[in-house]
Structure 1
Amino acid sequence: MAKHLTIQQAGQSKGRTVFFTVCTFLTLAACICTAQVRLPQLISDGMVLQRDTKLNLWGWASPGEHITIQFNHQISKIIADAAGNWKTTMLPMKAGGPYQMDINARNHIIIKNILIGDVWFCSGQSNMVINMERVKERYPNEIATAEYPKIRNFFVATASDVRSVHQDLPAGKWISANPTDVLTFGAVSYFFARDSYLKYHVPIGIINSSVGGTPIQAWTSADGLKGIPKYADRLAQLKDTAYLNRLQNPAKPAIEQKAGIKQPDKGLSGELKWYEVNYQPKDWHKFWLPGYWADQGIKGLNGVVWFRKEIQVPARMAGKPAKLFVGRIVDADETYVNGVKVGNITYQYPPRRYTIPARVLKAGNNLIVVRVTNTSGKGGFVPDKRYELTDDTTTIDIRGDWQYKVGQVFGPVEETSNTIAPFSAQNEPAGLYNTMVAPVINYAVKGFVWYQGEANTFSPKEYNQLLPALISDWRAKWKIPDLPFLYAQLPNFMEVQYSPSESQWAEVREAQLHTLSVPKTGMAVAIDAGEWNDIHPLNKKDVGDRLALAAEKVAYGEKQLVSSGPIFQSAAIEGNKIIIRFTSVGSGLMIKDGTELNQFAIAGADKKFVWANAIIDGDRVVVTREEVSRPMYVRYAWADNPEGANLYNKEGLPASPFRTDSQ
């Protein structure tokens, strides 16, 4: 028995030893795991660091951890603080690379392929987001030749939070420009970066932090909005946890919002679907494409409308893969060729560019069917877009006579007093600053590039305060009061107005014009780069080029460079004339594509504007109208879409819209 007990005790002792060994190992492993140095998303392989300035490096580790960083002949030793945060600063470095960074602590990190050059923080809404893939048909040569390994892009994934400032960005990585990967680059920021690289031959890093449809106040910090009561008060509201919870998780209304009963889509309900080649159409109506169905006999319909067209395909296209361009559609579509679904998009803005697989097309008669769903506004096909079938050798225009039939009618939406608008943090004050700007402020940059304003056109007067507030806020956060800030003025958009009228888009452009009074700012005028029927115009190169010109002057010190079109300076009344003077005249004023100046309007004290006669007189423009004998005010290009605005300087840059009646 004793011996047995001894053996048993020995086994228990051995088991306890193993147990304690395992526990010790797991404890040490946990400590090592939590002790490992962690870096922010931006400090990673392929990054571009800002030249000629002190560089911040930062991250997280276990409290008290010793960290050594070796980079480009500099060594930095840091101890993490009690919260596990660490930060160090390295001396300024000249442009160059690629380099490698070694970070040693309880773990070892190597960051590879680092360049030192100029870093630009590019931000705004959808026109800053839109990538090169979206404009590839417009710029095929630029994409094919985009072999620039020293141009790098870091696209920030969307995240929003109205309460907390985040320490780090969502997951992302640095990508070099090549014909494949450049398709993911923002188009405006790529052309801007390419121009800067070709001009100065230093690496260019783009941090693209932008979200479609977002207002400027969402990109501004709580500190930056303190002086604007409307948004400061809103932020105070959002600090109330109970209130915010109600917004994020609204109670179900006592009487729910009801959409009218939806009957089944007749086009999908029968034995033969309306997109099938064997389906025989009956009682279909004529439709001219492109166009909206509200303008062609279908009034006030929200629902599903089917469109079909038979086209003749030559034998040389038969069996080959091809592309079908169906313009832009409001709102959603499903598109079929010979009964085969070739694509669908669920909202109105993207261009419809669908690939038709091999063996779908046949010689002779071919059927195209488009099922369009719309829930509000005018549904249909946006005019002045690309509508064609092509194999890059043969192109068939698909515009013209089509047939349509209504497949489904949506009943009217029944609103109740209890209906609560959905809450979206990305549209709230500071909601994007907290997540997509704050985590970047330790990262040294050359300056900012901003393309936004569309989402603020509903309250345009606010932009006079909001844009300077954003500039001041970001400069304060980066702790450099004169960091260059470049921005695109809103392009032309919407229907042409053939009489002088008011315009909220023009008011935002005016606010952007006035912001040039803020030091170290530059503006790219874009009233000739838009499209009347698309809030996302494809001409991104002119905008990027003009922003790069602004950078040359504002950020790179090219003081003699003409970087802008004519900018209104002053107006003087001389009898029945008003004399307008400009800055940024360059080599002189000129009329582009015409024999006389357009888009000048004049008014007397009553501010009833009429189109004016305007002539160039040296570096001035003289504005008159016989019927206005005592003129007081002038406007130029004051419209949503000032078609025909043609005052330029001889450097080929357009004049900014302006008015004198608000001076």
Structure 2
Amino acid sequence: MRYFSRYIKLLVLITICCSNSALATVKLPSFFTNNMVLQQRATVPLWGESTSSSVKVTTSWDNASYTAKVANGNWLVNLKTPVYGGPYTITIADDKTLMLKNILIGEVWLCSGQSNMEMPLEGWGKIQNFKEEIAAAKYPEIRIIQAEHADNAIPLTDLRVQNGGWQVCSPATIAEFSATAYFFAKKIYQEKHIPIGLIHSSWGGTIIEAWTSAGALKTVHDFDEALAAMTSDENKEALLAKYNADIKVWLALLEKSDKGMENAVPIWASADFNDASWKIMKLPGYMEFNGLPDVDGVVWFRKTINLPENFEGKDVTLNFLADDDDKVWVNGVYAGTSSGYNVPRSYTIPANAFKKGKNVITIRVYDSTGGGGVYGSPSDLTLKTGQETFALAGDWKYAVGINTKDMPVQPSYPAGQYRPSAIYNAMIHPLLKLPLAGVIWYQGESNAERAEQYQKLFPLLINDWRTKFGNRNLPFYYVQLANYKVTRTEPVESDWAELREAQTKALSLPYTGMIVATDIGNDQDIHPKNKQDIGERLARIALAKQYGVKIDYSGPLYKSYAVKGNAVTLDFTYNEGIKAKTGGLKGFAVAGADKVFYWADAKIEGNKIVVSSSKVTKPVAVRYNWADNPDGNLTNASGLPASSFRTDTWPGITHGKK
């Protein structure tokens, strides 16, 4: 029995020792892996966790050894990196040894923003020539790491990443990576042959305040309630209660303001309503591209059909796609409602709702933003019974019930990734110790309706990140919004133009750069397929400003104006070789004191442009490319497009919106 007791004690001791040895294995953050790139000529922190008392780190590029004491399970050493090169190894030892292999020293860029930064070469993006581009992506000295989408109420210390960490750029790894980031790195590498590391951390559809720290946002006070809601359940419940009350009032106002409703009765759905004065729209198709470019809100659609005899007396399904919400009536009989732009509609219409001969189908669509209406392909818009199908595509009558631009801003409740600071906490904060060569940024579409507010939010984010990364000179290069939506025949107001203006104003910050993309967008696709030029134009800025390459990187930028008689003379920076890209100059509009803009005649005089209009005898303001989807053609010797601009400071359509 004595020997058995000693045996048990010995077994327990061995188990404890083995357990401690296993626990002593060092644990690293997700972005310290094989194949990684570290910033050249920098002090690079390397950190992690261990249950040992100390950790020894050895770097192969200089055979230097660093020893760190473990405090509360954590350790950190500061590595000195040389000029670019590799591959190298890093050996990390506590009670066990871990070796990171195939490491390069080079330039590390953080690539962030919303869907146009996220857009992959293949996947949902399918950029132009994606098959050829993927096949040619053989750049072993370009390395990529992809952050997972994540949001959090408080800052996190580690990043969720895909594919186990860093990957070598190749046809096998690049297809689902950011196309903009890849073409940016490719251009720099081809010019300088410096290893490039791309940290891609972006999320489609996101707003800039979600990417900004809570501390920075508190200085502007536009998001105080939402930030407070992230700190306690009590504040969260209070914000939700306020939202529920506000949205109830707003929806009641929407219905009251809807001309198709009268005392809560849908008068425009009545079978005998006279819609002779209504206009015609072909459905399916987004209403934004079919006569209603400036309408978000309620639009009613009506179609009179002759019901086929083989449909009579049978239950019928009405099928279509709608953006965002809808209600349906057949001959004035309510058939149902649905919400969500990506939810296929299929309403079962009872046999007694239809009658022999003529029948009226009414669809009331509410669209909060974007395209809106009844969309899809002709085969999506049908009546069906059994195996029989009746096509409803074609001409429909329509009328606007209420344009929400004529209402107060719809209340919103920030949740998930739409909470201020939530994405910063999960997708930027974990990276703050890493030295970077710079940041490239493509975002703004989701803030266009609050473009005036973006004038303070964008510089706030840039300065916030510079402070948090500990580099007040951190280069920050970004993409101005591309052209999108319908082309207008006359000068109009535009929230996208106002957002571009906010982006241009951020150039007043040092170490920034902006590319213009209003020549390579798509009127019906918010995600331009030409990401090659986007990435290469961003790379031009970096090559010129950081890598000593003599290369043009900007089209003309508006500087000043002077009025003389009925003409306005415009001066620009980057004005060498100023010209029209093709044909005569276009895209300029001029207004007098009445603030009504007319297209202007424009001519080049030296390195300046003189504009005038026979309709404006006393001009006071000029605008260029001031539209969602402009077609101006001003450029310079570089061939790069000029930025949109305005000389006036009149309140825009996003004035005061928060």
Tell me the TM-score normalized by structure 2. Answer: 0.74
Equivalent of 2:231, from 221, 239, 264? 239
Equivalent runs, 1:277-356 vs 2, <5 Å: 291=285, 299=301
After superposition, the C-alpha distances for 1:79-98 in whole angstroms (9 at most, x for unaligned) are: 34432221111223111111
Shift of residue 57, structure 1, vs aligned partner: 1.1
Equivalent residue number for residue 427 of structure 2 = 436
1:631: how far off? Answer: 0.9
Counterpart residue number, 2:455 = 464
**Aligned: 1:65 with 2:54:** yes
Report the counterpart of residue 273 of structure 1 in structure 2: none
**Structure 1 counterpart of 2:628:** 640
- CA deviations 1:179-229 (Å, max 9, x no partner) are 232112201111111001001111111000000111111111123223211
Q: 1:229 to 1:142 in 2, by over 3 A?
A: same
Indicate the SS of the match to 2:632: coil
Residue 81 and residue 241 in structure 1: after superposition, are their counterparts in 2 closer, same or farther (change >3 A)? farther
Task: Determine the C-alpha separation between the residues in 2 that align with 1:18 and 1:247.
Answer: 63
Q: Secondary structure at the match of 1:197?
A: helix
The counterpart of 2:572, out of the listed 559, 571, 582, is 582
SS in 2 for 1:631: coil
The number of residue pairs the alignment matches comes to: 530
2:489 — aligned with what?
A: 498
- 1:133-166 CA distances to partner (integer Å, 9 max, x unpaired)? 022553433222111111111110011112x211
Q: 1:480-511: CA deviations, max 9, x gaps?
A: 11111000000111112221111111111001
User: Match for residue 121 of structure 2?
Assistant: 132
Pair 427,55 (structure 1): closer, same or farther in 2 beyond 3 Å: same
Match of 1:198 in 2: 190
Instruction: Tell me which amino acid in the other structure corresponds to 2:216.
Output: G
What aligned pairs does 1:367-386 form with structure 2 within 5 A after superposition? 377-381=372-376
Equivalent position to 2:600, from 602, 606, 612: 612
2:639 alignment partner in structure 1: 652
SS in structure 2 opposite 1:56? Answer: strand
**Does 2:505 align with 1:518?**
no
Who is 1:269 aligned against?
none
- 1:637 & 1:577 partners in 2: Cα distance? 18
Change in CA separation of 1:527 and 1:435 when aligned onto 2, cut-off 3 Å: same
**Pick aligned residue for 1:573 from 548, 563, 578:** 563
Q: What is the CA-CA distance between 1:69 and the residue it aligns to?
A: 2.9
Matches within 5 A, 1:553-564: 553-558=544-549, 561-564=551-554
One-letter code of the match for 2:542? Answer: A
- State which of 563, 581, 584 in structure 2 corresponds to 1:596: 584
| In structure 2, C-alpha distance between the alignment counterparts of 1:609 and 1:28, rounded to whole Å | 81
CA RMSD of aligned residues (A): 3.5
Gaps of 5+ in 2: 249-280, 292-298, 304-315, 326-339, 344-364, 379-389, 395-409, 651-658
Residues 489, 31 of structure 1: alpha-carbon distance in 2 compared, 3 angstrom cutoff: same
Whether contact under 8 Å (1:306, 1:405) holds in the other structure is no
Deviations 1:535-581 (A, max 9, x none): 112111111111111111232244x5321110001111122111111
Separation (CA, whole Å) in 1 of partners of 2:472 and 2:75: 25
2:41 partner SS: coil
Q: Please, which of 101, 104, 110 is the counterpart of residue 121 of structure 1?
A: 110
- The 1:615–1:421 alpha-carbon spacing in structure 2 relative to 1, beyond 3 Å, is closer
Q: Report the Cα offset of residue 375 of structure 1.
A: 9.4
User: Where does residue 360 of structure 1 map in the other structure?
Assistant: none
Contact 2:29 2:158 in 1 (8 A): yes
Distance 2:317 2:568 in 1: 55
Q: Which residue of 1 aligns with 2:468?
A: 477
Is the CA contact (8 Å cut-off) linking 2:598 and 2:615 kept in structure 1? no
State the partner residue of 1:78. Answer: 67
- Which stretch of the first structure deviates more once superposed, 423-432 or 461-470? 423-432
Distance in 1, Cα, partners of 2:573 & 2:195 = 33
* In structure 2, distance between residues paired with 1:553 and 1:489: 19
1:499, 1:125 → 2: CA distance? Answer: 31
Match for 1:89 among 78, 90, 93?
Answer: 78
State the distance in 1 between where 2:643 and 2:500 align: 8
Tell me the amino acid that sits aligned with residue 86 of structure 1.
W
Between the aligned partners of 2:56 and 2:455, the Cα distance in structure 1 is 47
The AA in structure 2 aligned to 1:73 is: D
CA distance in 1, matches of 2:193, 2:605: 40
Q: Secondary structure at 1:166's aligned position in 2?
A: coil
* 2:628 maps to amino acid: D
- Paired with 2:302 and 2:161, the residues of 1 have a C-alpha distance of 45
Q: Is the partner of 2:20 in helix, strand or coil?
A: helix
Residue of structure 2 in register with 1:31 after alignment: 20
CA contact (8 A) 2:117 2:181 kept: yes
For the residues of structure 2 that align with 1:14 and 1:246, how far apart are their CA atoms? 68
8 Å CA contact 2:228–2:235 kept in 1: the answer is: no
Aligned 1:268-283 pairs, distance under 5 A: none
